[in-house]
Amino acid sequence: MAKATKKQALGRGLSALLKETPNINSALDNNADKVVGSIIEIELDLIEVNPYQPRTYFDEEALRELAGSIKELGVIQPITVRKLEGNQFQLVSGERRFRASKLIGNKTVPAYIRIANDQEMLEMALVENIQRKNLDPIEVALSYQRLIDEIALTQEELSTRVGKKRSTVTNYLRLLKLDPILQTGMRDGFISMGHGRAMINVDNTEDQLAIYEKILRDKLSVRQTEELVKTLKTGKIAKPKKKSTPAFIKNSNQEISDFFGQKVTINVANNGKGKITIPFHSEEDFNRIKNLLK
Protein backbone atom coordinates (compact mmCIF):
# COMPACT_ATOMS: atom_id res chain seq x y z
CA MET A 1 0.00 0.00 0.00
CA ALA A 2 2.81 2.40 0.95
CA LYS A 3 4.73 1.55 -2.22
CA ALA A 4 1.73 2.34 -4.42
CA THR A 5 1.22 5.70 -2.65
CA LYS A 6 4.86 6.58 -3.11
CA LYS A 7 4.73 5.67 -6.79
CA GLN A 8 1.73 7.90 -7.41
CA ALA A 9 3.49 10.78 -5.63
CA LEU A 10 6.14 10.86 -8.37
CA GLY A 11 5.83 13.76 -10.78
CA ARG A 12 4.15 16.23 -8.43
CA GLY A 13 6.99 18.72 -8.95
CA LEU A 14 6.48 18.44 -12.70
CA SER A 15 2.74 18.97 -12.20
CA ALA A 16 3.53 22.29 -10.54
CA LEU A 17 5.84 23.20 -13.42
CA LEU A 18 3.09 22.39 -15.91
CA LYS A 19 0.63 24.65 -14.08
CA GLU A 20 3.18 27.47 -14.07
CA THR A 21 3.84 27.08 -17.82
CA PRO A 22 0.49 25.85 -19.25
CA ASN A 23 1.28 26.86 -22.86
CA ILE A 24 3.54 23.91 -23.61
CA ASN A 25 1.94 22.76 -26.85
CA SER A 26 4.99 21.73 -28.85
CA ALA A 27 8.08 19.66 -28.17
CA LEU A 28 10.08 22.81 -29.03
CA ASP A 29 8.46 24.95 -26.29
CA ASN A 30 10.42 25.99 -23.22
CA ASN A 31 10.44 23.25 -20.50
CA ALA A 32 8.69 20.79 -22.85
CA ASP A 33 11.61 18.36 -22.47
CA LYS A 34 10.99 18.26 -18.69
CA VAL A 35 7.29 17.45 -19.10
CA VAL A 36 6.68 15.45 -22.29
CA GLY A 37 7.26 11.74 -21.74
CA SER A 38 7.34 12.11 -17.95
CA ILE A 39 4.93 10.59 -15.45
CA ILE A 40 2.93 13.43 -13.92
CA GLU A 41 0.05 13.49 -11.45
CA ILE A 42 -2.86 15.18 -13.25
CA GLU A 43 -6.23 16.17 -11.86
CA LEU A 44 -8.96 13.97 -13.33
CA ASP A 45 -11.16 17.01 -13.93
CA LEU A 46 -8.55 18.42 -16.33
CA ILE A 47 -8.73 15.34 -18.59
CA GLU A 48 -11.35 14.98 -21.31
CA VAL A 49 -12.27 11.61 -22.84
CA ASN A 50 -10.66 10.81 -26.17
CA PRO A 51 -13.24 11.41 -28.97
CA TYR A 52 -11.31 8.95 -31.16
CA GLN A 53 -11.63 6.08 -28.70
CA PRO A 54 -12.57 3.06 -30.88
CA ARG A 55 -14.05 1.17 -27.93
CA THR A 56 -17.51 2.25 -26.85
CA TYR A 57 -18.44 -0.57 -24.42
CA PHE A 58 -16.86 -1.00 -20.99
CA ASP A 59 -17.85 -3.99 -18.85
CA GLU A 60 -19.23 -2.52 -15.61
CA GLU A 61 -18.30 -5.52 -13.44
CA ALA A 62 -14.72 -5.56 -14.75
CA LEU A 63 -14.55 -1.79 -14.19
CA ARG A 64 -15.60 -2.20 -10.54
CA GLU A 65 -12.96 -4.93 -10.07
CA LEU A 66 -10.29 -2.62 -11.49
CA ALA A 67 -11.53 0.20 -9.25
CA GLY A 68 -11.12 -2.09 -6.22
CA SER A 69 -7.57 -2.94 -7.29
CA ILE A 70 -6.70 0.74 -7.76
CA LYS A 71 -8.13 1.55 -4.33
CA GLU A 72 -5.82 -1.02 -2.76
CA LEU A 73 -2.68 -0.71 -4.89
CA GLY A 74 -3.00 2.55 -6.81
CA VAL A 75 -2.71 2.97 -10.59
CA ILE A 76 0.18 0.62 -11.44
CA GLN A 77 0.39 1.60 -15.12
CA PRO A 78 -0.01 5.33 -15.83
CA ILE A 79 -2.54 6.46 -18.43
CA THR A 80 -1.38 8.42 -21.49
CA VAL A 81 -2.74 11.88 -22.26
CA ARG A 82 -2.35 14.44 -24.99
CA LYS A 83 -1.48 18.01 -24.03
CA LEU A 84 -4.09 20.55 -25.14
CA GLU A 85 -4.06 24.33 -24.87
CA GLY A 86 -3.70 25.76 -21.39
CA ASN A 87 -3.80 23.27 -18.55
CA GLN A 88 -6.11 20.78 -20.28
CA PHE A 89 -5.49 17.23 -21.46
CA GLN A 90 -7.13 14.60 -23.64
CA LEU A 91 -7.04 10.87 -22.96
CA VAL A 92 -5.05 8.79 -25.45
CA SER A 93 -5.06 5.41 -23.72
CA GLY A 94 -6.08 4.00 -20.36
CA GLU A 95 -9.77 4.90 -20.32
CA ARG A 96 -10.60 1.95 -18.04
CA ARG A 97 -8.03 3.17 -15.48
CA PHE A 98 -9.36 6.72 -15.90
CA ARG A 99 -12.99 5.63 -15.35
CA ALA A 100 -12.09 3.33 -12.45
CA SER A 101 -10.13 6.12 -10.72
CA LYS A 102 -13.16 8.39 -10.98
CA LEU A 103 -15.38 5.59 -9.70
CA ILE A 104 -13.58 5.44 -6.35
CA GLY A 105 -13.39 9.23 -5.99
CA ASN A 106 -9.71 9.75 -6.78
CA LYS A 107 -8.86 13.35 -7.65
CA THR A 108 -5.66 12.72 -9.63
CA VAL A 109 -4.14 10.02 -11.79
CA PRO A 110 -0.52 9.37 -12.90
CA ALA A 111 -0.14 10.01 -16.62
CA TYR A 112 2.41 10.12 -19.42
CA ILE A 113 2.29 13.41 -21.35
CA ARG A 114 2.25 13.29 -25.15
CA ILE A 115 1.94 16.03 -27.75
CA ALA A 116 0.10 14.92 -30.87
CA ASN A 117 -2.06 16.34 -33.62
CA ASP A 118 -5.51 14.91 -34.31
CA GLN A 119 -4.29 12.34 -36.83
CA GLU A 120 -1.54 11.11 -34.52
CA MET A 121 -4.11 11.04 -31.72
CA LEU A 122 -6.43 8.78 -33.71
CA GLU A 123 -3.58 6.51 -34.75
CA MET A 124 -2.29 6.14 -31.17
CA ALA A 125 -5.79 5.36 -29.89
CA LEU A 126 -6.46 2.78 -32.62
CA VAL A 127 -3.10 1.04 -32.30
CA GLU A 128 -3.38 0.97 -28.50
CA ASN A 129 -6.89 -0.46 -28.82
CA ILE A 130 -5.79 -3.15 -31.30
CA GLN A 131 -3.05 -4.37 -28.96
CA ARG A 132 -5.61 -5.36 -26.31
CA LYS A 133 -6.15 -9.10 -25.90
CA ASN A 134 -9.90 -9.10 -25.26
CA LEU A 135 -11.13 -7.56 -28.52
CA ASP A 136 -13.45 -9.56 -30.74
CA PRO A 137 -12.31 -10.16 -34.36
CA ILE A 138 -14.71 -7.57 -35.81
CA GLU A 139 -13.51 -4.86 -33.40
CA VAL A 140 -9.96 -5.55 -34.58
CA ALA A 141 -11.00 -5.56 -38.25
CA LEU A 142 -12.88 -2.26 -37.91
CA SER A 143 -9.87 -0.65 -36.20
CA TYR A 144 -7.61 -1.87 -39.02
CA GLN A 145 -10.02 -0.45 -41.60
CA ARG A 146 -10.13 2.92 -39.82
CA LEU A 147 -6.34 3.12 -39.87
CA ILE A 148 -6.38 2.44 -43.61
CA ASP A 149 -9.20 4.89 -44.35
CA GLU A 150 -8.48 7.73 -41.95
CA ILE A 151 -4.68 7.61 -41.62
CA ALA A 152 -4.20 6.60 -45.29
CA LEU A 153 -2.02 3.58 -44.53
CA THR A 154 -1.36 0.71 -46.91
CA GLN A 155 -1.80 -2.83 -45.58
CA GLU A 156 1.99 -3.17 -45.54
CA GLU A 157 2.39 0.02 -43.47
CA LEU A 158 -0.46 -1.05 -41.22
CA SER A 159 1.13 -4.43 -40.50
CA THR A 160 4.32 -2.63 -39.44
CA ARG A 161 2.47 -0.18 -37.17
CA VAL A 162 0.52 -2.88 -35.33
CA GLY A 163 3.33 -5.45 -35.31
CA LYS A 164 1.40 -8.12 -37.21
CA LYS A 165 2.11 -10.06 -40.40
CA ARG A 166 0.46 -8.61 -43.49
CA SER A 167 -1.42 -11.89 -44.00
CA THR A 168 -2.88 -11.55 -40.48
CA VAL A 169 -4.05 -8.01 -41.22
CA THR A 170 -5.58 -9.17 -44.52
CA ASN A 171 -7.44 -12.03 -42.82
CA TYR A 172 -9.04 -9.64 -40.34
CA LEU A 173 -10.02 -7.12 -43.03
CA ARG A 174 -11.67 -9.82 -45.13
CA LEU A 175 -14.07 -10.54 -42.27
CA LEU A 176 -15.77 -7.21 -43.03
CA LYS A 177 -16.96 -8.67 -46.35
CA LEU A 178 -19.19 -11.14 -44.50
CA ASP A 179 -22.90 -10.55 -44.05
CA PRO A 180 -23.58 -8.28 -41.02
CA ILE A 181 -25.45 -11.13 -39.31
CA LEU A 182 -22.29 -13.26 -39.38
CA GLN A 183 -20.22 -10.32 -38.12
CA THR A 184 -22.64 -9.90 -35.22
CA GLY A 185 -22.34 -13.64 -34.53
CA MET A 186 -18.59 -13.26 -34.16
CA ARG A 187 -18.94 -10.17 -31.94
CA ASP A 188 -21.37 -12.04 -29.68
CA GLY A 189 -19.20 -15.16 -29.55
CA PHE A 190 -21.63 -17.50 -31.33
CA ILE A 191 -18.99 -18.33 -33.94
CA SER A 192 -15.21 -17.91 -33.99
CA MET A 193 -12.96 -16.05 -36.37
CA GLY A 194 -12.08 -19.46 -37.84
CA HIS A 195 -15.73 -20.03 -38.74
CA GLY A 196 -15.86 -16.56 -40.31
CA ARG A 197 -12.72 -17.14 -42.37
CA ALA A 198 -14.15 -20.42 -43.63
CA MET A 199 -17.14 -18.56 -45.08
CA ILE A 200 -15.28 -15.63 -46.64
CA ASN A 201 -15.14 -17.23 -50.09
CA VAL A 202 -18.89 -17.92 -50.10
CA ASP A 203 -20.16 -15.06 -52.25
CA ASN A 204 -23.87 -15.72 -51.99
CA THR A 205 -25.40 -14.15 -48.88
CA GLU A 206 -28.14 -16.78 -48.65
CA ASP A 207 -25.53 -19.53 -48.66
CA GLN A 208 -23.56 -17.72 -45.94
CA LEU A 209 -26.64 -17.48 -43.75
CA ALA A 210 -27.58 -21.11 -44.41
CA ILE A 211 -24.12 -22.25 -43.31
CA TYR A 212 -24.26 -19.97 -40.28
CA GLU A 213 -27.61 -21.46 -39.21
CA LYS A 214 -26.23 -24.97 -39.62
CA ILE A 215 -23.13 -24.10 -37.53
CA LEU A 216 -25.36 -22.93 -34.71
CA ARG A 217 -27.89 -25.73 -35.05
CA ASP A 218 -25.37 -28.60 -35.32
CA LYS A 219 -22.54 -26.99 -33.31
CA LEU A 220 -20.09 -27.45 -36.18
CA SER A 221 -16.35 -27.08 -35.62
CA VAL A 222 -14.21 -24.87 -37.84
CA ARG A 223 -12.96 -27.92 -39.77
CA GLN A 224 -16.51 -29.18 -40.30
CA THR A 225 -17.48 -25.72 -41.52
CA GLU A 226 -14.58 -25.73 -43.98
CA GLU A 227 -15.76 -29.09 -45.33
CA LEU A 228 -19.30 -27.78 -45.59
CA VAL A 229 -18.13 -24.79 -47.63
CA LYS A 230 -16.29 -27.13 -50.00
CA THR A 231 -19.54 -28.93 -50.78
CA LEU A 232 -20.83 -25.71 -52.33
CA LYS A 233 -18.62 -26.48 -55.33
CA THR A 234 -20.62 -29.60 -56.09
CA GLY A 235 -24.02 -28.86 -54.60
CA LYS A 236 -26.14 -26.48 -52.57
CA ILE A 237 -26.49 -26.35 -48.83
CA ALA A 238 -29.90 -27.50 -47.71
CA LYS A 239 -31.55 -24.35 -46.48
CA PRO A 240 -34.09 -24.47 -43.66
CA LYS A 241 -37.64 -24.49 -44.94
CA LYS A 242 -39.30 -21.13 -44.58
CA LYS A 243 -42.32 -21.16 -42.32
CA SER A 244 -45.46 -19.72 -43.78
CA THR A 245 -46.30 -16.40 -42.13
CA PRO A 246 -49.86 -16.20 -40.70
CA ALA A 247 -52.14 -13.68 -42.39
CA PHE A 248 -52.62 -11.61 -39.22
CA ILE A 249 -48.83 -11.09 -39.11
CA LYS A 250 -48.58 -10.13 -42.78
CA ASN A 251 -51.41 -7.65 -42.43
CA SER A 252 -49.98 -5.99 -39.33
CA ASN A 253 -46.23 -5.96 -40.01
CA GLN A 254 -46.21 -2.81 -42.15
CA GLU A 255 -48.60 -1.02 -39.80
CA ILE A 256 -46.36 -1.69 -36.78
CA SER A 257 -43.23 -0.74 -38.74
CA ASP A 258 -44.82 2.57 -39.75
CA PHE A 259 -45.75 3.28 -36.13
CA PHE A 260 -42.19 2.84 -34.83
CA GLY A 261 -40.52 4.35 -37.89
CA GLN A 262 -38.33 1.24 -38.21
CA LYS A 263 -38.63 -2.04 -40.08
CA VAL A 264 -39.97 -4.31 -37.36
CA THR A 265 -39.32 -8.07 -37.46
CA ILE A 266 -42.07 -10.43 -36.31
CA ASN A 267 -41.30 -14.12 -35.74
CA VAL A 268 -43.96 -16.66 -34.91
CA ALA A 269 -43.55 -20.32 -33.88
CA ASN A 270 -45.75 -23.23 -34.90
CA ASN A 271 -47.64 -22.99 -31.62
CA GLY A 272 -48.70 -19.41 -32.43
CA LYS A 273 -46.34 -17.77 -29.96
CA GLY A 274 -43.86 -15.21 -31.24
CA LYS A 275 -41.83 -12.09 -30.65
CA ILE A 276 -41.54 -8.60 -32.15
CA THR A 277 -38.06 -7.16 -32.67
CA ILE A 278 -37.72 -3.38 -32.88
CA PRO A 279 -34.23 -2.22 -33.95
CA PHE A 280 -32.69 1.11 -32.91
CA HIS A 281 -29.57 2.86 -34.17
CA SER A 282 -28.57 5.23 -31.37
CA GLU A 283 -29.43 6.29 -27.85
CA GLU A 284 -31.69 9.01 -29.25
CA ASP A 285 -33.47 6.47 -31.45
CA PHE A 286 -33.93 4.17 -28.45
CA ASN A 287 -35.42 6.97 -26.36
CA ARG A 288 -37.74 7.91 -29.23
CA ILE A 289 -39.07 4.35 -29.41
CA LYS A 290 -39.37 4.18 -25.61
CA ASN A 291 -41.50 7.32 -25.61
CA LEU A 292 -43.81 5.76 -28.21
CA LEU A 293 -44.47 2.86 -25.84
CA LYS A 294 -45.59 5.11 -22.98
Q: DSSP state, 265?
A: E
Catalytic pick from 41, 95, 123, 128? 95
User: 272 CB contacts (<8 Å, ≥6 apart)?
Assistant: 246
Cβ of 123: how many Cβ atoms within 10 Å? 19
Q: DSSP state, 271?
A: T
Cβ of 34: how many Cβ atoms within 10 Å? 14
Alpha carbons 36 and 16: distance in angstroms, whole number? 14
Alpha carbons 184 and 179: distance in angstroms, whole number? 9
Based on the residue annotation, tell me whether 48 is a catalytic residue of this protein: no
CA dihedral 165, 168, 174, 175 (to 10 degrees): -150
CA dihedral 148, 151, 155, 161 (to 10 degrees): -130
Catalytic residues: 95
